[in-house]
Structure 1
Amino acid sequence: MKKLFAVLGDPIAQSMSPTMHNELFQTYGIDAHYQALHVKKEDLGDAIRGLKAIGIAGFNITVPHKQAVIPLLDRLDPLAKAIGAVNTVVNENGELVGYNTDGSGFVKGLLAHLPTLNDKNVLIIGAGGAARALYFTLARLEVKRLDICNRTVKKAEAITMECPYQVTTEVMDISEAEDNLANYDLIIQTTSIGMLPDIQKSPISLRNLKPNAFVSDIIYNPLETKILQEAKNKGAKIQNGLEMFVYQGALAFDKWTGIFPDPERMKANVLTQLGG
């Protein structure tokens, strides 16, 4: 019998996960189908109960449901519990178990460019769900320093205070981060600023960026946001969000099937869909 998988979000029409995962099922000879499901906040409980009732094999959770889904699940992986957000759910013998592959997916993509992270001074821009996942994951990996900036400082402070892993850290507003940007080896942009259609916007000024810094933006559409364009013009190395998207998907696929797929194949597939 064909196994069913899905991604739940609002909005969801823009998701490339169905194309990516259905191509993988075909490649690896797995009788399965992955479907995007538009689920509004008020319908999330009914949707999860319905998916469990029909025996769905697994699903992804995206904005705005990554936190709201937690009380609807049977169990949480320790890292997902610490982060307080879920993006991948596995049906394990009738129990819905929540995982978070955002942080680990980001790190896997990052390590393709940076051989080590524990000697890096890192700045995270933003304090949403993605920032939280990346902050917790990088803190667990014991980077040298891990600072976070946000327009609302209290949201960033909450992330540092709730993180269960010890790391040298400081919270600041955007203006303070701009003044101290030369201190950072790695800068990670986690907000939606610069995403289509607002591609002319940037979350922070790079006037003090050091030329050999590495700048990563978790947005992958467009492939080169304004902040990445500016960073490249200043001599920095850059990375868009495509590798994070691919690796978090690969980790989810592995949890569902026991197969870790070829990330380069996945990346090429998504690039084709993006038209480049």
Structure 2
Amino acid sequence: MKLFGVLGDPVSHSLSPVMHNAAFRALGMDCEYHAFRVNKDNLYNAIYGAYALGFGGLNLTIPLKEKALGIVDPADPAKQIGAVNTIDFKKGITGYNTDGVGARMALTGSGIEIKGKEVLLLGAGGAARAIAFQLAKDGASVIIANRTVERAESLAGEVSRVGRSTACGLDDLKNQIQNCDILINSTAAGMSPKISETIVTSDMMHKNLVVFDIVYNPINTMLLQEAKKAGARTIDGVMMLVYQGAEAFKIWTGCTPPVDVMEKAVRERLS
């Protein structure tokens, strides 16, 4: 049996095990996927321990994606993004990032055009980095809004090398949102157990806005509830989870997983 896993702190909320194990069963593969709580200080030992034990691969979640960059051999675009969410062990310890592809496919799969759109991205962490680079490369203009403005400005400067990107704080979000086509939350606001949190409320939105929350637990986050009040279109975080997971699955196994099976497993568990 080949083992796979997700490392994070916290990690009990992760539905990656449910999703990947459903795909392994559907394909008749002798593999299992588990969640392991690992903090930043123990990340090096955890990655090399999994490598030594013969794991097939790993995923990384909050708050390990950026720390991993200095531990693994990063492939593009992980090196450019500055964050790793997938590790493969076939040829050493190679780091990848599938978050950006997952976000793009979640949007395009919902019929949302990216090129030429104004995107307001909340957050400047590991997932935000991947999303910002991907959407800027796809032709969107990305505004990165973060509580620490300096961090948003730093990321926007990096993203500007591949596309259009600017930065702002959280004090002028209403005006920023009025000029945007797509709002994406890449922060942990609204994630279980803090389900009542949201950075943006309905009075700050407009009805032509697309609101995409990458938080998937709960599915109907407070942000998405507020968006529905405003008459905006909503996209939940399940499909980004599924699509980024499918890309990781391909990297590890060389096989295309059943995306519909993965999505069904996640939504059934959340419901």
- Aligned runs of 1:40-59 on 2, under 5 Å? 40-59=39-58
Which has the higher mean CA deviation after the structures are superposed, 31-40 or 164-173?
164-173
| Structure 1 residue runs without a partner (length 5+) | none
Select the residue among 76, 83, 107 that pairs with 2:81: 83
TM-score (norm 1): 0.93
Return closer, same or farther for 1:78/1:30 CA change in 2, 3 Å cut-off. same
Deviation sequence 1:127-148 (CA, Å, 0-9, x none): 12111111011111121x2111
Match of 1:242 in 2: 238
Return closer, same or farther for 1:164/1:178 CA change in 2, 3 Å cut-off. closer
Checking the alignment, whether the CA contact within 8 Å between 1:139 and 1:146 is kept in structure 2 is: yes
Q: Which runs of 4+ in 1 moved over 3 A?
A: none
| Structure 2 residue runs without a partner (length 5+) | none
Which has the higher mean CA deviation after the structures are superposed, 168-177 or 248-257?
168-177
Match of 2:147 in 1: 151
Residue 81 of structure 1 deviates from its aligned partner by: 0.3
Match of 2:14 in 1: 15
Residue 112 of structure 1 deviates from its aligned partner by: 1.1
Residue 66 of structure 1 deviates from its aligned partner by: 1.1
Checking the alignment, whether the CA contact within 8 Å between 1:193 and 1:201 is kept in structure 2 is: yes
Indicate the RMSD between aligned Cα atoms, in angstroms.
Answer: 1.5
TM-score (norm 2): 0.94
Match of 1:96 in 2: 93
Higher RCO (C-alpha 8 Å, min separation 6): 2
2:267 matches 1:271: yes
Checking the alignment, whether the CA contact within 8 Å between 1:224 and 1:240 is kept in structure 2 is: yes
Residue 96 of structure 1 deviates from its aligned partner by: 1.1
Match of 2:126 in 1: 129
Which has the higher mean CA deviation after the structures are superposed, 185-194 or 195-204?
195-204
SS in 1 for 2:203: coil
Q: Give the letter aligned to residue 87 of structure 1.
A: N
Checking the alignment, whether the CA contact within 8 Å between 1:188 and 1:215 is kept in structure 2 is: yes
Match of 1:5 in 2: 4
2:225 matches 1:232: no
Checking the alignment, whether the CA contact within 8 Å between 2:123 and 2:186 is kept in structure 1 is: yes
Q: How many residues align?
A: 271
- Aligned runs of 1:196-235 on 2, under 5 Å? 196-235=192-231
Residue 170 of structure 1 deviates from its aligned partner by: 2.5
Q: Give the letter aligned to residue 100 of structure 1.
A: N
Return closer, same or farther for 1:240/1:47 CA change in 2, 3 Å cut-off. same
Return closer, same or farther for 1:262/1:165 CA change in 2, 3 Å cut-off. farther
% identical aligned pairs: 40
SS in 2 for 1:222: coil
Deviation sequence 1:176-232 (CA, Å, 0-9, x none): 221232111111011111122222221124424221110001111111112211111
Checking the alignment, whether the CA contact within 8 Å between 2:13 and 2:192 is kept in structure 1 is: no
Return closer, same or farther for 1:27/1:153 CA change in 2, 3 Å cut-off. same
Residue 115 of structure 1 deviates from its aligned partner by: 4.4
SS in 2 for 1:78: coil
Which has the higher mean CA deviation after the structures are superposed, 33-42 or 22-31?
33-42
Quote the Cα distance in structure 2 between the aligned partners of 1:193 and 1:255: 30
Match of 1:62 in 2: 61
Select the residue among 90, 106, 111 that pairs with 1:109: 106
Checking the alignment, whether the CA contact within 8 Å between 1:181 and 1:206 is kept in structure 2 is: no
Residue 80 of structure 1 deviates from its aligned partner by: 0.2
Residue 164 of structure 1 deviates from its aligned partner by: 6.0
Quote the Cα distance in structure 2 between the aligned partners of 1:146 and 1:71: 27
Checking the alignment, whether the CA contact within 8 Å between 1:178 and 1:206 is kept in structure 2 is: no
Q: Give the letter aligned to residue 118 of structure 1.
A: K
SS in 2 for 1:6: strand
